[in-house]
Amino acid sequence: LQISDFATKFFVDQLWETEKGKSIGLNYLTERGITTKMIKKFQLGYSPDEWTAFTDQAIKNTYDLGLLQKTGLTILRESDKKFDRFKGRMMFPIHNLTGQVIAFGGRTLSNDKKQAKYLNSPESELYHKSKVLYGIYFARNEMVKQDNCFLVEGYTDVISLFDAGVENVVASSGTALTVDQIKLIKRFTPNITILYDGDFAGIKAGLRGIDMILSEGMNVKVVLFPEGEDPDSYARSHRSSEVQEYIDKEAQDFISFKTNMLSDEAKNDPIKRAGLIKEIVQSISVIPDPITRQVYVKECSTLMEMPEQTLLNELNKY
């Protein structure tokens, strides 16, 4: 934890106090429309584009090389060669529930296609990717207050929405949603609203997450942003009040969402339509509470113009 804290301060210092940090890192953040206030709040930083800048500084401050390797900040090769994992990247610290930094996400600033765009700290004693949500430390009080949690995909989605006044927002940061992450949200609110960008393939992959949320006995709504927009770009190109309005207006429960999304494919095809109904009934079947299940069956019956009893029979199979 001390090393992660030291690293955070080092990267922040590099961003604000060095020529390269200002011209490369700050410039990138400003171009992305991230405000100084948010850069400071989320402790964003810059890792110099040098092989051992961070590692050398940490060793100079008497931090143990073995521990530097365990945090994943330093990579050691057989030949005793050591180098910085996040060389030349924009740094996004990942905080735990008490606000301590336990890992980092680093975004490349180079145009080299061979480099991964985002790189995360490896799993460690501190950091288990499947149990952590980016932004949860900053969002938790507002999640309780609003009795809702907005779930997005990336770091900048969280930061831009936060800047637009939507503070009850967290990201699964590049991993498919896990049961542990859902349980973490459930400690603060039983309501999740997933914010999807308008990319069809991504949404289809996210449908599995909806079933997992339902099976934890939570309520899930979905907001779809216009095609070509994600929460980050939308929040930057609209006023705060418009962002809030859009989310309120577009939020739909999972049945309407699944129906609207999949019924375009199933429009004139009876077999596909039957498949869609089965898929929705299967989602309803994972809901633990019988009253909630019944309410959803009723809604599905109306939406799909299908007798309630038929749906109940299908539901009982699952």
What pLDDT, in 10s, does the model give residues 285-313? 999 999 999 999 999 999 889 999 999 99
Question: How confident is the model over 149-166, as a mean pLDDT?
Answer: 96
The dihedral sign for the CA sequence 230, 123, 135, 73? negative
Q: Which of 197, 193, 194, 192 is nearest to 233 (CA)?
A: 197
DSSP reduced 3-state for 318: coil
**Phi, psi values for residue 4, rounded to 5°:** -65, -40
For the chain, give the mean pLDDT. 93
Q: What is the pLDDT of residue 175?
A: 75
Taking the whole predicted model, whether its pTM rises above 0.75 is answered as yes
Residue that has been written with the tokens 């950091």 in this structure:
127
What does each C-alpha distance from 221 to 121, 249, 250, 257 come to in angstroms?
A: 31, 12, 10, 8
Q: pLDDT exceeding 70 applies to what percent of the chain? A: 98
What does each C-alpha distance from 243 to 136, 151, 189, 216, 231 come to in angstroms?
A: 20, 15, 22, 29, 9
